[in-house]
């Protein structure tokens, strides 16, 4: 190899020659060419088979009262569902939309507040000394413990549910962003100062790009915790939403509807995290990734 010539791996050479969207399609093609998606499908099929054996075929104690996959699927796909909830009932989509819109509001608010706060906490040590103890004191408090205060603080049920969902997402976003800034090697800061960078240039050209991988990891985590915090809030104070549907179905002894709502939550949560990963891959095409 000639002096001054940097040898690049094949995936990196391809990444440099195609657009951001093309890069996503290229990596998606490689993903489908790998055994990963087929192992995922196999794992899901194994889970459903185990579920069927425990609940419907063997009827193992502790599982015999739970609805099996055949019963749930029949109710879910029925045009005339026994318990009134299926893909053909408008109310089912009202519950989905209400939950999704609440999570979206809480997630956007947590991102807009948590990311800047985490960046400044990692960048300015004095600021971290003031704020980190407060954050670490409030973070371990369970979301259910915040329910009475949320109802007292915010008029109406809607704002209280969004507030509870926001809290969980906010802590996850802030702490992961802080960890991202602290993971940046001090060498980059010294090099930037030697090159005459002003503090604002260091912040936007060193701190933000360096913390970006951790930020998107935190956003995926915050999306997940936002969903299960939302369910807790909707169970206690909701009128619509998947959490309300789960709790109301339990009270009315409509067990297949509980599983339908839970599976719906899982699919929507997975799609939400996938969307965040997609945006992250567009913004971080410079990041070297392992390609199997």
Mean pLDDT of 206-218: 89
Residue 180, in any domain of the structure? yes
Q: What's the pLDDT tens digit per position in 120-172?
A: 998 888 999 999 999 999 988 888 888 888 888 887 788 888 998 999 899 99
Q: Which domain holds residue 151?
A: 69-283
pLDDT value of position 23:
64
Residue 291, in any domain of the structure? no
Whether residues 52 and 88 fall in one domain: no
Residue 57, in any domain of the structure? yes
Q: What's the pLDDT tens digit per position in 228-287?
A: 888 888 877 667 899 999 999 999 999 999 999 999 999 999 999 989 988 887 777 666
Rounded to two decimals, the pTM is 0.83
Number of domains the chain contains: 2
Mean pLDDT of 188-213: 86
Whether residues 140 and 33 fall in one domain: no
Residue 54, in any domain of the structure? yes
pLDDT bracket for residue 290 (50, 70, 90)? very low
Q: What's the pLDDT tens digit per position in 64-82?
A: 888 999 999 999 999 999 9
pLDDT bracket for residue 97 (50, 70, 90)? very high
108-21-221 Cα angle (round to 5)? 35
Whether residues 235 and 258 fall in one domain: yes
Whether residues 73 and 144 fall in one domain: yes
Whether residues 159 and 42 fall in one domain: no
């Amino acid at each position: 190899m000639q002096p001054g010539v940097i040898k690049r791996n094949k995936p990196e050479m391809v990444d440099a020659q195609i657009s951001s969207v093309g890069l996503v399609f290229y990596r998606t093609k490689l993903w489908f060419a790998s055994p990963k998606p087929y192992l995922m499908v196999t794992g899901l099929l194994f889970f459903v088979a185990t579920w069927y054996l425990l609940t419907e075929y063997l009827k193992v104690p502790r599982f015999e009262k739970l609805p099996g996959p055949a019963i749930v699927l029949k109710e879910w796909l029925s045009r005339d569902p026994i318990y009134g909830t299926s893909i053909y009932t408008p109310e089912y989509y009202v519950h989905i939309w209400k939950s999704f819109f609440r999570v979206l509001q809480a997630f956007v608010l947590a991102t807009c507040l948590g990311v800047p706060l985490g960046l400044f906490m990692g960048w300015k040590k004095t600021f971290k000394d003031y704020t980190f103890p407060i954050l670490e004191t409030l973070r371990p408090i369970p979301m259910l413990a915040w329910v009475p205060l949320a109802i007292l603080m915010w008029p109406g049920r809607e704002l209280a549910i969004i507030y509870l969902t926001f809290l969980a997402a906010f802590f996850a976003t802030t702490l992961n962003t802080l960890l991202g800034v602290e993971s940046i090697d001090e060498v980059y800061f010294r090099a930037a100062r030697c090159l005459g960078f002003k503090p604002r240039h260091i912040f936007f050209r060193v701190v933000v790009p360096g913390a970006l991988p951790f930020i998107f990891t935190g956003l995926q985590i915050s999306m997940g915790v936002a969903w299960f915090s939302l369910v807790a809030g909707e169970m206690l104070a909701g009128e619509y939403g998947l959490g309300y549907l789960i709790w109301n179905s339990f009270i009315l002894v409509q067990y297949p509807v509980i599983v339908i709502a839970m599976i719906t939550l899982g699919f929507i949560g997975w799609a939400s995290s996938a969307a965040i990963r997609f945006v992250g891959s567009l913004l971080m095409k410079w990041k070297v990734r392992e390609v199997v």
